[in-house]
Amino acid sequence: MRLVALLFLLLVLGGSQAKPKPTEGSAVSPLVAADFVRRCCRWTRYPRVCVSTLLPCAPAVGRSPRRLARAALVVGADRAGNCSSYLRVSGAAVSLGGGAIKDCKEMVRDAEERLRQSAAEMERMGRAGSPRFAWSLSNVAGWALPPLSF
Most confident of 53-62, 103-112, 124-133: 53-62
List of residues 6+ apart from 116 with CB closer than 8 A: 73, 74, 77
The answer as to whether 44 is a domain residue is: yes
CA 55, CA 42: separation in Å to the nearest integer? 13
* Residues listed for the chain: 150
Mean pLDDT over all residues of the chain?
Answer: 80
In sequence order, which ranges of 15-149 are alpha helices (DSSP H)?
30-41, 47-54, 58-61, 65-89, 91-97, 99-123, 131-148
Amino acid 17: pLDDT: 35
Predicted confidence (pLDDT) per residue in 71-119, tens digit: 999 999 999 999 888 887 776 555 666 777 788 888 899 999 999 999 9
Residue 6 has pLDDT above 70, yes or no: no
The answer as to whether 76 is a domain residue is: yes
Range of the domain at 58: 2-17+27-148
Residue 126 has pLDDT above 90, yes or no: no
**What confidence category does residue 24 fall into, taking pLDDT thresholds of 50, 70 and 90?**
very low
Amino acid 96: pLDDT: 63
The answer as to whether 54 is a domain residue is: yes
The answer as to whether 110 is a domain residue is: yes
The answer as to whether 104 is a domain residue is: yes
* Domains identified in the chain, total number: 1
The answer as to whether 22 is a domain residue is: no
In terms of phi and psi (left: phi > 0; alpha: psi -120 to 50; beta: otherwise), the region of 127 is beta
Amino acid 60: pLDDT: 94
CA distances from 11 to 7, 69, 72 (A): 6, 6, 10
Amino acid 150: pLDDT: 62
